[in-house]
Structure formats: structure tokens, C-alpha cells
Amino acid sequence: MKLAIYQMEVQAGVPDENRKKVQHWLREVAVKHRPDVAVLPEMWTTGYALPDLEEIADDEFGETLTFLKPLAKEYKMDIIAGSIAVKTKGGIVNRALTISKKGELIHTYDKIHLVPMLDEPRYLVGGKEKVTTYDLHGTTMGSLICYDLRFPEISRTLALQGAKVIVVMGEWPAARREQWDALLRARAIENQCFIVAAGAVGGHNGTNYSGHSTVISPWGKIIELADAEKEETLIANIDLTEVNEFRTAVPTFESREPSLY
């Protein structure tokens, strides 16, 4: 599977400008690299302009989906479209989207764990549905969002559902970059799967973002790693047979004793 990951500098509060950036990026990677899957970071339409979300967040099945679906179909690539702020009847959620190369929305996930340090609970509501997997190119995958990374249960749930690739989208603070690096690698090793992380750079309202988008193998090997501060594209080819190889060599799933935990 060939991946293109956009480590993006999100312009907080200007969704139209961010959509233009993503449109240009998708066109560029489609022409230069022809990836199977393109991956975007967290909250890439609005950034963390949280007080403005009532005005600038998407409606359900709104502008961003309308924008992305024809691009996925035109460029014949699946888009794990990061996450965006979406207005729902219950409040505004931080929602991850996956769009197939046929231009169809095939999976959504609303961020369960909201970040108290960034005041998310004041402006957003947490997801109420359990995480589920989805299939791309015959591969079982899962998505989680930023602060979710700190809760190992959520990635383990995806792995137990058969996920061979877990995609993490974030605008993780630079002050805790070492924890981002360590947690991503730990999630790959403990779940014996690929971790694909799309982070952000730049900053907003006194918080700088960590960069370090990455692809990590089930063995914990860093396949690709982006810069800490600059906007860039990562291109990675992953061999999914490594997942079964590692799970056979180190059969931790068979060794589990959940009734004793």
C-alpha cells in the first residue's frame, strides 16, 4: 500500500483557504506519486479556532465532504480525510472521515477523548459511538484522533477487530512532542500493526504543533519521519505481510488473558 501523508500548516479560522491548500496538495501528490491512500491531519479545515466553530464548522454532510468526494474519484485514490469540526444535533464534534476512491463516504469516527488542556470540552462534544474498523484495498484499518492516542484501550479495540493499520491524525502540541513519538511507537509494537500518523506544524493561540508525522512498522521500526517544524509530504510504501509475520513470531494476541486483567 502506497501512502501520501500531508504534514500541514493549518491556517486557523479560514476553512476556504485550507480547502484550497488541500486541493492543490491532492492534485500534486496524485500527479507525482500516485498513492493508493492520501492522509490528512486533525481539524485541518478550521484548526483550533474553537470559539469560532459555531460559525465556521461544517454542517453534517456539508461543504468539506462535497469538496472531497469528487477529488477522490478524479484522482482515483482513497482519502483518509483527517478530521473536521462538524455541527450535529448534539453539539459540534471532531469527526474523522474516510472517503473511497469511488467518491463514497465509507467511515466516520467522532473523537471520544476531548483535550482539557486545549479547552476542547468547552466547545466540542465527545463521540458516543465505539470505534470500528473499515476496509481499504482489502486491508482492515482504523482511525483515532490525537488525544485518543493516550488511551491504549481504543487502539487495542481496533487491533482486536483486525486492524492491520491504525491511522492517527493530530494537532499535537510541540511541548509534548517526545510523548507523541513514544506513544505512536508503543501503539505499533503493542498492537503489532502499522501506525500512520498525520500531524501538523505551525501553531495557534500560543500553542505550537509537534510535526513528526510518521509511519511505523509492527516491529516498531520508523519507516518515515517528517520534520518537527516544516510543512511537508511523506510518501511511504508499507508491506502488510509484516503484520502477520510479527504476530506469528511474537504471538501476544494468543497469549492474552483478559479475564485476569
pLDDT at 143 (0 to 100): 98
pLDDT in tens, 12-48: 999 999 999 999 999 999 999 999 999 999 999 999 9
Q: What is the maximum alpha-carbon separation in the chain?
A: 52
- Which stretches of the chain score pLDDT less than 70? none
pLDDT at 123 (0 to 100): 97
Total structural domains within the chain: 1
Q: In DSSP terms, which residues pair with 59 in a beta bridge?
A: 87
- For residue 229, the enclosing domain spans 2-260
pLDDT at 157 (0 to 100): 98
pLDDT at 87 (0 to 100): 98
Average pLDDT, the chain: 97
C-alpha closest to that of 1 among 261, 248, 246, 235: 235
Q: Which active-site residues does the annotation give? A: 42, 111, 146
What is d(CA 86, CA 49) in angstroms, rounded to the nearest whole number?
13
- Total-model pTM: 0.97
Kindly tell me the sign of the dihedral angle through the C-alpha atoms of 249, 253, 255, 261: positive
pLDDT in tens, 104-144: 999 999 999 999 998 999 999 999 999 999 999 899 999 99
Kindly tell me the sign of the dihedral angle through the C-alpha atoms of 152, 157, 162, 166: negative
CATH code for the domain in which residue 60 is found: 3.60.110.10
pLDDT at 118 (0 to 100): 86
User: Please, which residues have CB within 8 angstroms of residue 113's CB and are 6 or more apart in sequence?
Assistant: 126, 147, 148, 150, 151, 154
pLDDT at 162 (0 to 100): 97
